[in-house]
């Protein structure tokens, strides 16, 4: 594709967006009815700010969902420590709650504006950011172009490029080059990610490691954890977390096979809790007794499955066990983040499909913390072995702690890369003091 055709394609994207603008209001209303949008804050999605812009320098940081919000929280604290205001945008109700819990009033949270020219103009006219920081893989064409038109530096941090995304961009090299060249800097998670960004036209590109390693462990309520541990008694546990369709039933099959020999409770935490009713129905149909977190069901002696159908309590579920299977890896593509279970002292098991977290799994597997399983039968054998073999389980847990220690440092490298952009804003903030 030539540069002229790339410009034409991006212009077509802009006009298609304008054509869709009238239908976005009913679409967001539909999402709000399903609980996927906050009814009172839908205006933010159209770039209408709900609060005034603070005086002084301001950085716009965008994190798509919960994982990205958690990953970038330490970086946000560093920016705020310098006296620079931050407007944080996210795309989900859950991530908004996480931002409130982790960052409180230290940042201004807004829902991310739609990638439409009039919406972005309204958003940028109000906030007038001095710097825009996108997290991981947030590549929105109109946002990139509008920031570029206003000469606002934009940086991608914790950059990740999946196999599928890279293949798609390679089919459109001129469009990729027209967009990725707009980034003043890309800070990638790994050497492989960095090389992919360079291939697509991004320069300069640095490598920091994964910011998720430098985040705090997921929080929990100690009183709730103590109550569940009391109910468990001496029963052994394992968890299947961030599961996708098919993997909950697989976990149920593993439990059914193992409970004949081991007094066992299986913890299942689906990636999408709204599927909990269907998951419970399928597990009950297999003769398993299910307790649900949302119902505050007690974990009685005959409870087979504890269904963690809440959001934001992964810290609770992982502290109830020392073995975690990480989903979207047996009956899904891409995998999910294995760092949280390793951080909270779990031996990690996973299916083979972990393309989106390949670097993390490679490092954990190399240290001996993570092991891959091919199928449900191999998962059952792996869980069973770790349940009865304390030495091996503890060895894997210790290896995970050592590996995470070696992987840390991404925050320091990221801040170092951002210094040319943050230092002038730090000076500006000191020259224009304001109420924090």
Question: Residue 376 is encoded by which pair of tokens?
Answer: 């449900």
Question: Residue 353 is encoded by which pair of tokens?
Answer: 């499909």
Kindly name the residue from 37, 38, 44, 68 that is annotated as catalytic: 68
Angle 80-182-7 from CA coordinates, rounded to 5°: 145
Are the C-beta atoms of 31 and 410 separated by less than 8 Å? no
Are the C-beta atoms of 133 and 58 separated by less than 8 Å? no
* Distances in whole angstroms, Cα of residue 430 to Cα of each of 231, 334, 435: 54, 44, 12
Count of residues in the chain: 436
Neighbours of 355 (CB within 10 A): 14
* Phi (first) and psi of residue 127, to 5 degrees: -85, -30
Name the nearest CA neighbour of 235 among 299, 296, 283.
Answer: 299
Alpha carbons 187 and 193: distance in angstroms, whole number: 9
Question: Residue 430 is encoded by which pair of tokens?
Answer: 């000191």
- Does 68 participate in catalysis according to the annotation? yes
Name the nearest CA neighbour of 325 among 376, 274, 261.
Answer: 376
Residue 20 DSSP symbol: H
* Phi (first) and psi of residue 56, to 5 degrees: 90, -175
Question: Residue 115 is encoded by which pair of tokens?
Answer: 């990638």
Catalytic residue annotation: 68
């Amino acid at each position: 594709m030539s540069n002229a055709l790339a410009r034409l394609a991006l212009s077509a994207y802009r006009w298609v967006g304008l054509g869709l603008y009238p239908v976005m209001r009913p679409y967001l209303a539909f999402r709000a009815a399903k609980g996927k949008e906050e009814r009172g804050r839908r205006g933010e999605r159209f770039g209408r700010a709900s609060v005034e812009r603070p005086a002084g320098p301001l950085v716009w940081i965008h994190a798509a969902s919960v994982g990205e919000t958690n990953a970038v929280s330490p970086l946000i604290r560093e920016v705020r420590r310098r006296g620079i205001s931050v407007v944080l945008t996210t795309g989900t109700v859950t991530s908004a709650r996480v931002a409130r819990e982790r960052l409180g009033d230290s940042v201004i949270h807004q829902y991310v504006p739609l990638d439409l020219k009039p919406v972005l103009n309204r958003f940028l006219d109000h906030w007038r950011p001095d710097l825009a920081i996108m997290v991981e893989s947030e590549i929105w064409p109109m946002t990139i172009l509008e920031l570029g038109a206003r000469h606002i530096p934009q940086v991608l941090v914790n950059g990740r490029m999946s196999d599928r995304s890279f293949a798609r961009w390679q089919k459109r090299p001129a469009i990729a080059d027209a967009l990725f060249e707009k980034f003043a800097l890309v800070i990638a998670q790994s050497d492989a990610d960095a090389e992919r960004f360079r291939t697509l036209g991004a320069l300069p590109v640095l490598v920091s490691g994964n910011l998720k390693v430098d985040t705090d462990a997921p929080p929990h309520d100690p009183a709730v954890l103590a109550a569940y541990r009391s109910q468990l008694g001496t029963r052994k546990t394992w968890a299947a977390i961030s599961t996708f369709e098919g993997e909950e039933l697989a976990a149920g099959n593993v439990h059914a096979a193992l409970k004949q020999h081991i007094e066992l409770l299986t913890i299942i935490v689906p990636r999408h809790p709204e599927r909990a009713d269907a998951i419970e129905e399928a597990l009950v149909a297999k003769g398993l007794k299910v307790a649900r977190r949302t119902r505050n069901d007690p974990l009685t002696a005959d409870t087979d499955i504890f269904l963690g159908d809440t959001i934001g309590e992964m810290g609770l579920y992982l502290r109830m066990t020392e073995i975690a299977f990480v989903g979207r890896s047996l009956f899904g593509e891409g995998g999910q983040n294995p760092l949280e279970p390793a951080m909270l002292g779990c031996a990690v098991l996973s299916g083979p499909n972990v393309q989106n977290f390949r670097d993390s799994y490679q490092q954990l597997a190399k240290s001996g913390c993570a092991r891959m399983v091919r199928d449900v039968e191999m998962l059952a054998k792996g869980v069973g072995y770790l349940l009865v073999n304390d030495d091996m389980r503890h060895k894997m847990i210790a290896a995970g702690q050592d590996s995470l220690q070696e992987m840390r440092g991404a925050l320091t490298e990221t801040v170092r890369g951002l210094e040319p952009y943050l230092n002038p804003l730090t000076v500006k903030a000191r020259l224009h003091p304001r109420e924090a």
